[in-house]
Structure formats: C-alpha cells, structure tokens
Amino acid sequence: MKLVILLFVLVGLTSHAQQLAQYSQWSSNQFALNPAHAGIKSCADLHTLYRIQWVGFEGAPRSGFFTLSVPLPAKRKQFLSARHGMGFKFETDQIGQFSTNRFNLAYAMHMNFNKNDRLSLGLYGGGVQMSYNPSTTETLNPDPSVMRQANFLSPDASFGAWYNSTNFYLGLVFQNLIPTKWEEIGDNSRYRFHSNIYGGYRYEMNEKLTLLPALLLRIPPRGPISADLNVQVDYLNKVGFGLGFRNTDALISFVNFKFTDQFSVGYSFDFTLSKLQKVSQNTHEISLRFSTCKSQKSSTSACPMFE
C-alpha cells in the first residue's frame, strides 16, 4: 500500500504537475493566495488554516499556512496616492513521503483610481524546502534509487495582481516563478510555473443578506484546469455559509462565524466526487482569523473580501 501511495504522488507530480497545495476556503483567505493583498487593509490581519485531505487515505495531503499582513505607515501627499503593505507567509504541505515548507515575505503597492476602484500589485519572495523520507517506503525488490533520502532548499517567488471596485474583484497570480530542478530526486523533476485567475462579485439581497459568488481557475503547466465555483451568503458580516464545486474532485460546503470584530472561525467540508471516494469521501479545513480592524457598523457593505 505504501508503494502505491508513492506511485500516486509521483504520477500526480509529473502528469498533472500540481505541485502546490489547494484550499477550499481560498476566497476567505486572499493574502494566502495573492501577495497583492499584503497590507491592503488599514490594520494587521492574521490568518491560519489547516487542511486534512481525503481522510483515511494513507499518504494523503496534509496542508496548512500561517499569514500576517500589515500596512506600511506613510505620509500620503494626496488623498488617493499609493499605499504600501508587507506580509509574511509560512506554508507546509505533506503528501506521502514528500514534505514541502515555504517561507515568503511579501510586498504590495495599492493604487486608487478613485474612491472605489483600486489596483494592487505584489510579490512573494523567499525559499522552499523539500524533503523526501523513504523510511516508510516498501518495495517488492530492493531499489537504491527509491530509498535515497533527499532534503534541499531552493528560492521561491510569486507575482500577484488584484483589482477591485465596489461590488467585484479580479485576481491574477503567477507561482513558482523560479523553475528550480529537484536534482536530488530526479533529473527531470523541477518546480514548474503555475497560474491562477479568479474573481468574485457582491450582490446585496437586502440590508442584512449578501450573496457572494466566486470563481477560481488553477492552471498547471500540464494536466486539467481545476475550477472552484463558490456561492456564499453573508448575514450582516457576522455569519456566512455556502456551497462550492470543484470540477476535478469535490462538492464543498462552508460556514464562517465572526465572534467579534477581531476574531472569526471558518470550516469547510469537501465531499469527494472523483474515483478516490472508494477509499475516502471526506476532506476537512478549519481556519482562524484575527484582525485589529474594527467594523464601524454591521452591514452588507462591510464584507471583508472588498476591504
């Protein structure tokens, strides 16, 4: 079984080239996806999330991140002059015998065209540490190439762009900009360029309820495009719930509770639709968020995705 898991990992990395962790709660954790969100708010914003994918499937992915985003103090010569922000992101991803840790600093510039329209550009820069531990690998016959342990560090970089108006946003992210080879694992293995295109819209149903549809396209260098379509309902920026669909794998449900202006908890459940449901039907995510921002009022216009 352990060899099967290893083969599954290798096939996934080579044929589908999906080398990056995926999250169902991406629309509620924008900075973890896009460095252009660094310091976009006028306060410090801290997020953490952990994802347990395909529960009960040995070697299945376990992913998570911690992010901190803060605005940079600056004297603005004009009311709509550019603002700046910085942030930090740590992300861990383990699948089978492979584990990856990413450490990135972020810088972003936020430029307003008017009171409601804004363009933000950002960069992630840091390092990624990958390791391969063959201690749990079993083969029918001894294979020195499979049993060789590997651990290496390489540079990491991403670019992001974000545009938003009063009721919609659009995002573009380019990841793995430095195609470093995995020389300790294989001559043809390397980090490959990935891109994400996404957007969302806010529709105020009434004074208390807001409808928030969103779409994310993950575009790997090889293999099928993964599309996440989410529809959430927000009640007074206090409670949110919704459903989502991922074309490659799952039906998703969401819930989010904002206990105070500063603290909120989110949970999502993925029901597996692909052939993997024969061995696992459940994926879970839980997220925590702390912000120093204080809402001036509880209303549909206070949606955090548009701040």
DSSP 33: H
Which residues have a Cβ under 8 Å from the Cβ of 173 and sit 6 or more positions away? Answer: 33, 34, 35, 158, 159, 160, 161, 195, 196
> Looking at per-residue confidence, does 178 or 16 come out higher?
178
Q: pLDDT > 90: what percent of the chain?
A: 62
User: Shortest CA distance to 229 belongs to which of 3, 94, 89, 27?
Assistant: 27
Q: How many CB atoms lie within 10 A of CB 223?
A: 14
| Domains and their CATH numbers in the chain | 2-306 (2.40.160.40)
Mean predicted confidence (pLDDT) in 230-253: 95
Rounded distance between C-alpha atoms, residue 1 and residue 224, angstroms = 26
Rounded distance between C-alpha atoms, residue 40 and residue 124, angstroms = 15
pLDDT at position 248 is 84
233 pLDDT higher than 70:
yes
Least confident of 186-190, 268-272, 296-300: 296-300
Least confident of 33-37, 109-113, 194-198: 109-113
Question: DSSP labels for 137-184?
Answer: ---SS--TTTS--EEEEEEEEEEEEEEE-SSEEEEEEEE--S--B-TT
Mean predicted confidence (pLDDT) in 239-262: 94
Burial class (CB in 10 A: 0-12, 13-18, 19+), 206: exposed
pLDDT in tens, 43-82: 999 999 999 999 988 889 999 999 999 999 877 666 678 8
pLDDT at position 280 is 86
DSSP 190: B
pLDDT at position 250 is 94
188 pLDDT higher than 60:
yes
Rounded distance between C-alpha atoms, residue 129 and residue 142, angstroms = 28
pLDDT at position 299 is 46
150 pLDDT higher than 70:
yes
pLDDT at position 6 is 42
Token couple for 307: 């701040």
Least confident of 60-69, 97-106, 157-166, 294-303: 294-303
Q: pLDDT > 70: what percent of the chain?
A: 82
pLDDT at position 16 is 40
Q: What's the whole-model pTM score? A: 0.87
Question: Taking all residues of the chain, what is their mean pLDDT, rounded to a whole number?
Answer: 86
pLDDT at position 4 is 41
pLDDT at position 19 is 76
pLDDT at position 80 is 74
